[in-house]
């Protein structure tokens, strides 16, 4: 007996951008993995909704996988998208969004996603307009979703508790690390030279925003530098170089205190701000770093620590939210509000022997096997199928 074809609508607007961070990366990689998994599966017809033409690196359309650009762009999620769904509801069985927002009026069953609930835990760290939208749109999307995708067990627990969802209706599909073709040696040298980066250095990659805790990170780095400066390193001049602090990423929101604090640092010359880093540069940055640092106050998951493990770099991460879940036992956990704790972790990383580094690299690779974009995409497809079966 032939199984009925599943007509799946996907909101991929979050993926349809070039310089991806956080939720953009999640949406993009999940879309790629879903396209790959369904290439040989005739049971699926996938229509990907966008508010503008697809960027070049989105999956190539094919039979059973198409793009549909829907207008108008203004309030697209709550206006253009639902109008299309209402007018064409017989064409789709399930709607899936890899982001927080589903149409307020959705005429078909849908699966929504949640990265984290930081906007409820730290509302003062968001711009007012973003906060209002996140609070109200996420609440509606989650409460009315047939199923919810959470990117970590930590986020799942938060969603269940906050929105009173049944545990069985919230499914964990975590991020992973994509394979990246690294930059050439010449490109890497040019990047390091242009931004005055030299070894040794500590590395942060992420969007500049309050909950990334960069004020505390800079303070911990300064304490580390003062302590290092006071020690006697002997005759080896290379050891006299203070490790730099490379803070790479987009400038986000409410960043004036962070930028002003960096400018006021007595170690300003050692703090490097290269801006957004393209994927091909990341492997080299991680490989040459003393350690990576993600000591944020609240993370839904944290892709940078996984990237750090992928490229053999020790991650120093907060001991709160989902970060322990991401790194397992293969990183150094710190209290994000304790400067001394972060400073001590930096000292530990700086003093690592080659043998210790090799052990971390091996364990890090083992930790990474727990995460795969295809595994998570398959979890999402299985969740969508379960809704179809419930309808039948």
**pLDDT tier at 392 (50, 70, 90 boundaries)?**
low
**Mean pLDDT on 5-32:** 95
Show Cβ contacts of residue 69 under 8 Å, excluding neighbours closer than 6 positions. 50, 51, 52, 53
Backbone angles phi, psi at 88, to 5 degrees: -130, 30
> Does position 316 have pLDDT exceeding 70, yes or no?
yes
Give the distance, in angstroms, between the CA of residue 28 and the centroid of all CA atoms in the same chain: 11
**pLDDT tier at 16 (50, 70, 90 boundaries)?**
very high
User: Collapsing DSSP states into helix, strand and coil, what is residue 352?
Assistant: coil
> Does position 195 have pLDDT exceeding 60, yes or no?
yes
Domains of the chain: 6-176+372-386 (3.40.50.2000), 185-368 (3.40.50.2000)
**Mean pLDDT on 287-303:** 92
- The mean predicted confidence, pLDDT, of the chain is 92
Its pTM stands at: 0.91
**pLDDT tens-place string over residues 75-119:** 889 899 999 999 999 999 999 999 999 998 899 999 999 999 999
DSSP string, 367-390: HHTT--HHHHHHHHHHHHHHHHHH
DSSP 125: G
**pLDDT tens-place string over residues 209-258:** 999 999 999 999 999 999 998 875 544 544 568 999 999 999 998 999 99
Structure tokens at 235: 């005759």
> Does position 3 have pLDDT exceeding 80, yes or no?
no
Number of C-alpha atoms within 13 angstroms, CB side, residue 34? Answer: 33
pLDDT of residue 239: 52
> Does position 22 have pLDDT exceeding 90, yes or no?
no
In the chain the first and final C-alpha atoms are separated, in Å, by 15
**pLDDT tens-place string over residues 270-291:** 999 999 999 999 999 999 999 9
Cis peptide before 27 (omega within 30 of 0): no
Q: In angstroms, what CA-CA distances link 317 with 270, 280, 330?
A: 22, 23, 10
> Residue 96 and residue 88: Cα distance in Å, rounded?
16
Percent of the chain, pLDDT > 90? 78
Backbone angles phi, psi at 244, to 5 degrees: -75, 165
Alpha helix ranges (H) inside the chain: 23-37, 80-87, 118-121, 128-144, 153-163, 185-194, 214-229, 256-263, 282-288, 303-310, 323-327, 339-350, 354-368, 373-391
């Amino acid at each position: 007996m032939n199984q009925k074809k599943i007509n799946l609508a996907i909101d991929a607007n979050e993926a349809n951008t070039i310089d991806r961070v956080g939720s953009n990366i999640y949406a993009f990689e999940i879309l790629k993995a879903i396209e790959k998994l369904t290439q040989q599966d005739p049971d699926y017809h996938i229509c990907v909704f966008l508010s503008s033409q697809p960027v070049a690196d989105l999956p190539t359309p094919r039979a059973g996988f198409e793009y549909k650009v829907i207008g108008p762009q203004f309030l697209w999620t709550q206006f253009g998208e639902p109008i299309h769904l209402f007018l064409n509801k017989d064409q789709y069985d399930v709607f899936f969004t890899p982001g927080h927002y589903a149409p307020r009026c959705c005429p078909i069953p849908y699966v929504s996603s949640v990265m984290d609930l930081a906007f409820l835990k730290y509302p003062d760290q968001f711009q007012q307009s973003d906060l209002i939208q996140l609070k109200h749109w996420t609440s509606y999307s989650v409460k009315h979703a047939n199923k919810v995708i959470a990117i970590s067990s930590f986020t799942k627990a938060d969603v269940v508790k906050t929105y009173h969802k049944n545990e069985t209706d919230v499914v964990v599909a975590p991020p992973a690390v994509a394979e990246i073709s690294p930059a050439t040696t010449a490109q890497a040298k040019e990047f390091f030279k242009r931004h005055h980066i030299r070894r040794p250095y500590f590395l942060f990659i992420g969007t500049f925003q309050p909950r990334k805790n960069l004020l505390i990170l800079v303070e911990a780095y300064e304490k580390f530098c003062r302590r290092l400066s006071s020690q006697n390193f002997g005759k080896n001049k290379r050891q006299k170089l203070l490790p730099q602090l490379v803070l790479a990423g987009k400038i986000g929101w409410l960043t004036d205190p962070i930028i002003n604090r960096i400018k006021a640092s007595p170690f300003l010359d050692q703090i490097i701000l290269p801006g957004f880093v393209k994927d091909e540069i990341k492997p080299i940055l991680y490989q040459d770093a003393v350690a990576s640092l993600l000591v944020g106050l609240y993370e839904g998951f944290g892709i940078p620590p996984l990237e750090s493990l992928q490229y053999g770099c020790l991650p120093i991460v907060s001991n709160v939210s989902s970060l322990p879940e991401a790194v397992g036992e293969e990183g150094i956990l710190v209290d994000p509000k304790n400067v001394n704790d972060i400073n001590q972790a930096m000292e530990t990383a700086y003093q690592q022997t080659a043998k210790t580094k090799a052990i971390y690299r091996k364990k890090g690779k083992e930790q990474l096997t727990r995460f795969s974009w295809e595994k998570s995409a398959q979890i999402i497809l299985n969740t969508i199928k379960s809704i179809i079966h419930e309808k039948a």
